Amino acid sequence: MKKLVRPLTWWLVGVAVFLLNGCWLMGETPPLELTTTRSGFKVALLLPGPATDKAWNQAGYEGLKLIEQEFSAETAFVEQLEGPDLATRTREAARRFAGSGFDLVILHGGEFVPIAESIAQEFPRTRFALTGTYAGNNSNLGAVAFRFEESGYLSGVLAALRSRTNKVAYIAGFDYPSYVEEGKLFEIGAKSIKPDIEVKISYLQTWFDPNKARDTALGLAREGFDILLINADAPGLRAIREVTQLPDVYVIGHNQDQYDVAPGRVLTSVIDNVPLLLLKAATLVQLGRWEGKQYKFGMREDILRFTPFRGAVPPADEARFQKVRTEILTGALNISTEIGALPGEVREN
Amino acid sequence: MPQPVQLSPSEVSINPWSSIASQLRFGLVVIVALTLLVTGSLLIYSSFQTLIQETNSLQRERSRVAAETIDAYLDDLLRKLNYLARVRGLTDLPAETKQTMLEGLARHNQAYELIAVLDREGNVQSSVNPYGGAKPGPMRNSSLFIRTFFKHEDFVADVTIDPDLNQPVTTFAVPIRNAQDSVDGVLLARINLKFLNFVTSQTEVGRTGYTYVVDARNRLISRKGTTGQTVQLEDGSRLAFLQDLTITKARSLAVYHGLYGAEVLGAVAPVRNLNWLVVVELPTAEAYAPVRRQIFTMGLSLLVVVIGATGVGFLFAQRVVVPFQRLTSAAQRIRDGNLEVQVHIPDRNELGVLGQAFNTMAAQLQASFQALEQINEDLEARVASRTAELQAAFQEIETLNQQLKAENLRMGAELEVTRQLQQMLLPREAELQNIADLDIAGFMAPADEVGGDYYDVLQHNGRIKIGIGDVTGHGLESGVVMMMAQTAVRTLLANDETDPVKCMNTINRVIYENTRRMRSARNMTFALLEYEAGVFRLSGQHEDVLVLRTSGQIERIDTFELGFPLGIEPDISQFVAQIDIELAGGEVLVMYTDGITEAVNPDQEQYGIDRLCAVLTAHRGASATDLQHRVVEDVKAFIGSQKIFDDLTLLVIKKKPFPPHASPP
């Protein structure tokens, strides 16, 4: 028995020392875990289409969730407002949110530009944010927009570098000023590489008609346009899928990484980081500095970017592309033009 | 001295690595050193990590604070412009009012070098130059006007060096509104960035560190220590670190080769308003100096502690090891025969007790050895005396042996003589065949030491005397007595003495007288058979006489009542008697001595009368010689390798079946 006692004692002393050390290292008290409380910041989102369209509307919805997460905000949204009674339903929804004390109402899309101003005027206490190019009402209605001239110019450069037929095309859903600007800079960018290149710019006047997007894309391809930038939400995906069935036709995607739609045929995709854009707006509202003007974000803020080429572009062309990109980023290359300019007055579509 | 006990040739030797002394000394030391080194190193490593983190955080903090200072300064300037941009109908105000407002703005901050309002055509409507200078010209095609007026963006121009001021300047521009809140003009302000130098100079970055500001185009627009010099914008694009930051925004802190080529710990913080970057670089030589110092101090302390602990451990081990080694070497000396060894272990602990016990044991061992030595000496003396005695005894035995050998030789010669005497006196073959009526076969085999058997067949005047006898004892004496008996019988036959009593008594008297003279106790049994005209007359005490009848029956004739042993009494006439035995033709009479019946085989069984009778019965038809051979062979076979102790004598007498005249020639 006595034989056992001594080693046992030492062992216990060892364990005690170890535990004491452990306590000292770990700190005496575990960190407090606070139950998250709502910040009282309330944000609503109005969507023209369904929140699960895997495109523009869904990106908006994700932005709302990001705001909810970042600011512990209370959020709400209304979807599928697109239609003949867009104005009525939007006004109705905006009233409901403004009436229940929402701090920020986001109108997600160029569709809302015509009616945004009158709604904003109705609820001076509420801040309204449009996603799109808009000058702002100088009071409570402002806009967050992408510097699509950057993506347009660079896409044009890439398209011209890769075209074999010397014919490239830009297809977008609507001729919103931002897309008009993107389209024009697509052309300017392409011509900066090949001055004699043929560039066609086409607006579908729909975000929802799948056949129109497909027909337009196939039509252009048959005319010999071999690089197409397609920016048309869900119909655009179908167009990409079908047009890449034709030989030697390549596309540049838009909004999402669309590589998987036609692997090997999608050179790259322009990613407009809508969630981050919306977060920028919400941040400004939070700080009380949402002024009724336009806030623009682009590649420098990482809100616009291109997906990796994944071998679809030869290294020499990629290097050329990256060089132009760096020049734009540092301001060495000035691509500002009057194209896409907004008139002083709100333009009625 | 006693001889040391030799162990096996492969004596156990101490391996210096596995010796307990080494294990105690170095094992303890290694454990202590290892424990200290491992825990110490872990502690040093974790504090090293913490220190690095602290240094890094400090560096980040420095850049953040510098960036925020610049941000705050710019914010102040930008907010005032934005305030005016929010004024509804600013463009519609009378030129004089506008001028006044711009003046107020200029007075608010000394950095405004020029403030101007452009109309929708890009022409200067109103402008203020607080420090004098030229009015700007029309800006219709400038990037500033396009972006602000046509695209409604806030605009920040590139930083340039104002040649007059020798200072970096930039221009901010914002769209301004008319009474309908629509963009209807541009407000621009030219800003002197002198304050940047103040910020970069004032940001304390150790002794050798420095701060600089990089604009959106990766150009150095301000750095520490440039105040008062000719300012030039430096292209920072050569700095890979900046490239990384502006292109990928991957890192905000890194160790790299800094602005002046030295390895630095650099931290970057953005100036949010303008996409500028504030970089704070501190040469690693200084940045990590406290870390190095602390690590060095801790390492040194650890080393000192390890050495100290090792020393103490070593000393403690010595306290055990030294007594232990003394014990070991003492034990070895004892093994080598030195019993006077004593160990000196003064410690008052187990080893002390062990040492004392060892000393006691050594002393006891020595005493035991001395006692043993004494006993040994005594023993040796006794062995010597015993050996001498034994030597003498051996001499005696040797002498006796010599005598015995001589005696033996003499006796051997004596025996040989006796044997020859005995054989010489036996009847010849021819004598036996001369007997007409009888077929007689005689056999005598002397014993190794000649016994005193006797037989004889004598013929005189048609009378046949057949004698058989056995003298007691062996050797010459018995042989001589037997010869006397033979001589006496022949003498009696020659004198035609036929009275068996007289015969027997005369022979007895001869033997009795002679043995008295010889001072010998020899005597003999003796039977005499006389044959005359087909009748056998038997007298004298001897073995049974066997008569083998033609019917196969054997008669045993006891001779005990027919006489008395010769040579014991002077007169035996009263004991002597005679019986007549008649044999028909072919019947056989057999006489023998006890050498036959008492012959023993290796199992110490006697041959016996029954076996003899059985052999005779089995071969009753055979001739006398044949019968005699059969019996002798059977006896010899029975005896086997056994020594013949007594003489064997056998007489077979067969009555011829036909009259003597009819016998074959």
pLDDT interval class at B663 (50, 70, 90): very low
**ipTM for the whole predicted complex goes beyond 0.95:** no
- Please state, in angstroms and rounded to a whole number, the distance separating the CA atoms of residues B319 and B278: 66
User: Which element (helix H / strand E) includes B124?
Assistant: strand B124-128
What is the reported pLDDT for A348?
32
**What DSSP state is assigned to residue B159?**
P
Which residue from B557, B576, B580 is spatially nearest to B566, judged by alpha carbons?
B576
The C-alpha angle with vertex B152 and arms to B147 and B153, in degrees rounded to 5, equals: 60
The answer to whether the beta carbons of residues B158 and B217 sit under 8 Å apart is yes
Considering only alpha carbons, which residue of chain B is nearest residue A343?
B150
With an 8 Å Cβ cutoff, are A342 and B152 in contact? yes
pLDDT (tens digit per residue) in A243-282? 999 888 999 999 888 888 888 899 999 998 999 999 999 9
pLDDT (tens digit per residue) in B513-525? 988 888 888 888 9
Q: How far is A340 from chain B (nearest CA, A)?
A: 7
Q: How far is B48 from chain A (nearest CA, A)?
A: 16
Token reading at B358: 């060892």
For residue B296, how many other CB atoms are within 10 A of its CB? 10
Across B110-131, average pLDDT: 90
With an 8 Å Cβ cutoff, are A345 and B180 in contact? yes
Q: Which residues of A touch B (CB under 8 A)?
A: 133, 135-139, 291-294, 296, 300, 302, 326, 329-332, 334, 336-338, 340-345
- Please state, in angstroms and rounded to a whole number, the distance separating the CA atoms of residues B329 and B335: 10
pLDDT interval class at B323 (50, 70, 90): confident
CB-nearest to A293 from B152, B216, B275 is B152
Chain A residues whose CB is inside 8 A of the B150 CB are 338, 341-342
Which residue from A304, A159, A180, A153 is spatially nearest to A228, judged by alpha carbons?
A159
Q: How far is A15 from chain B (nearest CA, A)?
A: 16
Is the per-residue pLDDT at B230 higher than 90? no
What is the reported pLDDT for A269?
93
What is the reported pLDDT for B10?
52
With an 8 Å Cβ cutoff, are B247 and A326 in contact? yes
Token reading at B653: 């007498």
pLDDT interval class at B1 (50, 70, 90): very low
Which of A21, A113, A138 best tests the B interface by mutation, with the highest count of B CBs <10 A? A138
Token reading at B586: 């072919």
Chain A residues whose CB is inside 8 A of the B181 CB are 137-139, 292
- Mean pLDDT, rounded, of chain B: 84
- Please state, in angstroms and rounded to a whole number, the distance separating the CA atoms of residues B270 and B316: 63
pLDDT (tens digit per residue) in B516-554? 888 888 888 989 888 887 788 898 989 889 998 888 888
Lowest mean pLDDT among A236-240, B176-180, B315-319: B315-319
With an 8 Å Cβ cutoff, are B178 and A344 in contact? yes
Token reading at A287: 């700080």
What is the reported pLDDT for A267?
92
Percentage of the residues of chain B whose pLDDT score is greater than 70: 93
Within 13 A of A21's CA, how many CA atoms are on the CB side? 8
Across B594-616, average pLDDT: 87
Across B376-405, average pLDDT: 93
What is the reported pLDDT for B225?
66
Which residue from A276, A111, A74, A207 is spatially nearest to A119, judged by alpha carbons?
A111
Q: Which residues of B touch A (CB under 8 A)?
A: 82, 85-86, 88, 120, 143, 146-147, 150-154, 158, 175, 177-178, 180-184, 216-218, 237, 246-247, 249, 275
pLDDT (tens digit per residue) in B139-174? 888 888 988 998 888 888 888 888 888 888 999 999
With an 8 Å Cβ cutoff, are B86 and A340 in contact? no
Q: What is the dihedral of CA A125, A128, A133, A139, to 10 degrees?
A: 0
What is the reported pLDDT for A349?
30
| The three-state (H, E, C) secondary structure of A103-129, written as one string | CEEEECCHHHHHHHHHHHHHCCCCEEE
- Please state, in angstroms and rounded to a whole number, the distance separating the CA atoms of residues B456 and B434: 14
With an 8 Å Cβ cutoff, are A342 and B151 in contact? yes
pLDDT (tens digit per residue) in B68-99? 999 999 888 888 899 999 899 998 999 889 99
Chain B residues whose CB is inside 8 A of the A344 CB are 120, 178, 180, 182-184
| Secondary structure class of B531 (helix, strand, coil) | strand
With an 8 Å Cβ cutoff, are A344 and B85 in contact? no
pLDDT interval class at B9 (50, 70, 90): very low
Percentage of the residues of chain B whose pLDDT score is greater than 90: 11
Mean pLDDT by 10 residues, chain A (349 residues): 60 68 52 58 91 85 93 91 87 89 91 87 91 88 91 94 93 88 93 93 88 92 93 88 91 89 91 92 90 89 89 90 87 76 44
What is the reported pLDDT for A38?
67
Residue carrying structure tokens 């450069």: A157
Residue carrying structure tokens 């150009």: B219
Is the per-residue pLDDT at B335 higher than 70? yes
Q: Measure Cα distances from B610 to B596, B616, B649 in Å.
A: 11, 10, 17
pLDDT interval class at B206 (50, 70, 90): confident
What is the reported pLDDT for B159?
87
| Strands in B252-291 per DSSP E | 253-257, 263-271, 276-283
| The three-state (H, E, C) secondary structure of chain A, written as one string | CHHHHHHHHHHHHHHHHHHHHHHHHHCCCCCCCCCCCCCCCEEEEECCCCCCCCCHHHHHHHHHHHHHHHHCCEEEEECCCCCCCHHHHHHHHHHHHHHCCCCEEEECCHHHHHHHHHHHHHCCCCEEEEECCCCCCCCCEEEEEECHHHHHHHHHHHHHHHCCCCEEEEEECCCCHHHHHHHHHHHHHHHHHCCCCEEEEEECCCCCCHHHHHHHHHHHHHCCCCEEEEECHHHHHHHHHHHCCCCCCEEEEECCCCHHHCCCCEEEEEEECHHHHHHHHHHHHHCCCCCCCEEEECCCCCCEEECCCCCCCCHHHHHHHHHHHHHHHHCCCCCCCCCCCCCCCCCCC
